[in-house]
């Protein structure tokens, strides 16, 4: 991520990695040093890495934890699309 990343950027990264919304609720506004090493799962759901899984890496390396909560989320739904017509 970088030497001084915003935790909102980390939350966006985690959203992509976990395929579910992640919100930054740390209250830390300034840049935060982020270097995160974790095992990525392969197609079979296992890894051959010596790195920890993502939730464990977040806690051990950055002191952050993921917490499951229920909340409302804004979602953009596109229910119809058409190709543009030529003039």
Whether the CB-CB separation of 24 and 9 falls below 8 Å is answered with no
C-alpha span between 38 and 30 (Å, rounded): 24
> What are 76-85's contacts with CB under 8 Å, separation 24+?
none
Q: What is the pLDDT of residues 55-85, one digit of tens each?
A: 999 999 999 999 998 888 888 999 999 999 9
pTM assigned to the model: 0.69
Tokens of 36: 């995160």
Q: What is the pLDDT of residues 10-59, one digit of tens each?
A: 999 999 988 889 999 988 888 878 888 888 766 565 555 688 889 999 99
Domain ranges of the chain: 2-62
């Amino acid at each position: 991520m970088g030497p001084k990343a915003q935790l909102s950027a980390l939350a966006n990264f985690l959203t992509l990695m976990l395929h579910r919304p992640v919100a930054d609720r740390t209250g830390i506004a300034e840049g935060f040093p982020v270097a995160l090493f974790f095992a990525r799962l392969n197609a079979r759901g296992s890894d051959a890495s010596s790195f920890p899984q993502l939730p464990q890496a977040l806690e051990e390396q950055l002191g952050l934890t993921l917490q499951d909560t229920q909340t409302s989320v804004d979602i953009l739904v596109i229910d119809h699309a058409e190709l543009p017509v030529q003039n």
